[in-house]
A and B are shown apart, each in its own frame.
Chain A
């Protein structure tokens, strides 16, 4: 009874993701006692330097989810990517509530809405890995490298992927 709207909705999403997971994505609460803290695994999209990598991320949901979006952060050493802060926090428009646009570049239509879901976030992040948006980079260094020295960027990403896999 005391379970909130947010918890119930997260249960729905969890069930949906575990019975019908999108390709290359796994996600679920770390413990079923706390539905507001999830862990996700994303495969690096094929045909990109991230290919072959598996990236772990944590998702934290606000109590008024789905009115407000969760936050997402890559764990185990960040991801070298223009839209990922050096500490791993993902900066992508779908995770930003329409009300606040600190960067003044995102269309409202790309941003969070209660009808979005964990699945859509993770799919967006996957495609973000493949196609960085360098308009307002979270990691300026990575963005610069991506723009100006693409091959070096790709090499660095590949190295990190290998390192992440313990090779």
Chain B
């Protein structure tokens, strides 16, 4: 979590001489997640968001978050230009920021012996680029961000294979990967799908993107065409993974069992009460369809992992003692007693165990011997009789009373 706090942000520019880049950067960020656009799409009202963000908004509210005019997911269109601008900006960001910070530090230090800041800038840029780019003997001019990185992307994709490309632009490449929403994934040299580093070789055995996978990875590498379209076309690896959009479901027309069967067919968890099933399906639909928009679609496994994160943060496995009353939106009638008991069974057992021990001990030590008859009845009396055991009494009370809740549920 600590390194998340180093999130790059538009405010990074503020204390530099190029603070005017801050508004540029913030307009390349999605207003909903505040991150750089991931697969930007444009609404009918011409506002741009990440595909996933706007899908989530539309599925909860059906309105554009910016202007609140109604819209539908089906009307979303890719915003290629924004994506291109963003890619160019991200490629340049680190070096420009480094430069800007150096400049800021120089100004702060008061070393003003250089009277020509623009000129100096140009030279610094060359220096810093030459440090980053190993072994580039061509192009002595500093201005070569976009075209350079495009050329480099092709070998970079195949780099896991044979390290054939001499000029390893490690810096640029890793930077690109950081921009991916995923987690340090690499592209399969054949189908360009992104996956975990260690998964690549296993995947290559089954990858049908090419009949002869290892022989000639560069020739059919799609990224020679710019990084935008081709991977989507090369994506289908097995029929089940074809990026076909999921249609909305009319939940009210389906019985519970039918719904659960559909979930099984989709390959997503089908436990929990109906309301949770609906929410889960909506999230899955959003994840899936946003992934269909993506230039670098993730595998279904990756999407399932994201669904799992959702499940643990907002879904059925989310911590229930949320600080906010509003999140306790699970109505009594939807309360899944069985699931609750399963999830918290061990806790309950432990608490009950502790409580039993405690109460036995107390019964023995209480001289007054007030009828410890019923399990619940003796509680308050015990507490009266023996107030000093603070923490234990607290635990005891919890043990006695909390576990009762699910049983009392309808």
User: Which residues of A approach B to under 8 Å, CB–CB?
Assistant: 1-9, 11-16, 19-20, 32-33, 36-37, 60-64, 66-68, 71, 98-99, 108-109, 113-115
Contact = CB atoms under 8 A, between A and B. Distances in A.
Contact of B4 (A3, A68, A113): A3
Interface stretch (B31-39, B75-83, B209-217, B359-367): B31-39
A108 B314 CA distance: 26
A16 B11 contact: yes
Nearest to B63: A98
Interface residues of B, number: 36
A9 B31 contact: no
Contacts of A14: 5
Interface in B1-34: 1-2, 4-5, 7, 9-11, 14, 31-34
Contacts of B309: 1-2, 4
Interface in B293-313: 305, 309-310, 312-313
A64 B1 contact: no
Interface of B: 1-2, 4-5, 7, 9-11, 14, 31-35, 53, 56-57, 60-61, 63, 65-66, 68, 183, 305, 309-310, 312-314, 318, 322-324, 326-327
Contact of A12 (B35, B63, B66, B322): B35
Given A62-B326, A66-B32, A98-B68, A16 B61 contact: no
Contacts of B313: 2, 4, 6, 63
B11 A71 contact: no
Contacts of B10: 16
Contacts of A15: 5, 7, 9, 11
Contact of B34 (A9, A33, A60): A9
A109 B9 contact: no
Contacts of B312: 2
A20 B65 contact: no
Contacts of A64: 60, 314, 327
A112 to B, nearest CB: 10
Nearest to A70: B324
A114 B15 CA distance: 28
B164 to A, nearest CB: 32
B192 to A, nearest CB: 23
A31 to B, nearest CB: 11
Contact of A19 (B1, B14, B61): B14
Contacts of B11: 15-16, 19-20
Contacts of B326: 62, 68, 71
Contacts of A1: 183, 305, 309
Contacts of B60: 64, 67
A36 B323 contact: yes
B1 A3 contact: yes
Contact of B1 (A32, A36, A68, A108): A32
Contacts of A67: 56-57, 60-61
B323 A8 contact: no
A114 B57 contact: yes
A154 B4 CA distance: 45
A109 B314 contact: no
